[in-house]
Every structure is written in C-alpha cells, then in structure tokens.
C-alpha cells in the first residue's frame, strides 16, 4: 500500500471523521472504499486491457480481425 496526502474541505473532513467514528472505520478506509466504488471498474478494465496487450505483444499472430471475433462471439453466445 502506498501513502498519499489529500486536502479536503473542512466540512467534508468533519463529516468523514464523524462517519468513520460511527461506522468504526478509519477515514482512510472510507476514502479507499469510495475510490473503489467510483473507479474500481475502470481500474479493472485498464488492468484487463494491459494484460491483453501484453499477450498480443508476446504473440501478435494470435490476434483475430473484428469480423472473425464477432463470428466467434456469436457462435459462443448461441451455445
């Protein structure tokens, strides 16, 4: 885990501290959870894309054109 520093408006910080206390969690945990909720899917998509790109770079011959991919996808969807 990496450490970072952020600046929050006073009202936001006050509300987060209150909510953290009431929910028995830390402010940092609440912020991490919020980031995961808002950006989690995008982060997962980027990771997936990076993995696929690495596979392609390692073996470019494995790539298929769009029409072939769509045909394969249609066949798999109907089974």
Where are the domains positioned within the chain?
10-78
| Digit-coded pLDDT (tens) for 16-40 | 999 999 999 999 999 999 998 888 8
Token couple for 68: 């072939």
- The Cα 34–Cα 15 span in angstroms is 14
Say yes or no to pLDDT of 59 above 70: yes
Torsion from C-alpha of 24, 27, 32, 33, nearest 10 degrees? 40
pTM over 0.85: no
For residue 23, what are the CA distances in angstroms to 18, 28, 33, 79? 9, 13, 13, 47
| Digit-coded pLDDT (tens) for 60-69 | 888 888 888 8
Q: Is 20 exposed, middle or buried (0-12, 13-18, 19+ CB in 10 A)?
A: middle
Q: Could you tell me what percent of the chain has a pLDDT over 70?
A: 99
């Amino acid at each position: 885990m990496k450490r970072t520093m952020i600046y929050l408006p006073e009202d936001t910080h006050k509300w987060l501290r209150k909510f953290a206390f009431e929910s028995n969690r830390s402010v940092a945990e609440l912020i991490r959870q919020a980031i995961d909720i808002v950006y989690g899917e995008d982060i997962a998509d980027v990771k997936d894309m990076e993995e696929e790109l690495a596979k392609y770079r390692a073996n470019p011959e494995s790539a298929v054109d769009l029409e072939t991919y769509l045909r394969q996808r249609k066949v798999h969807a109907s089974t």
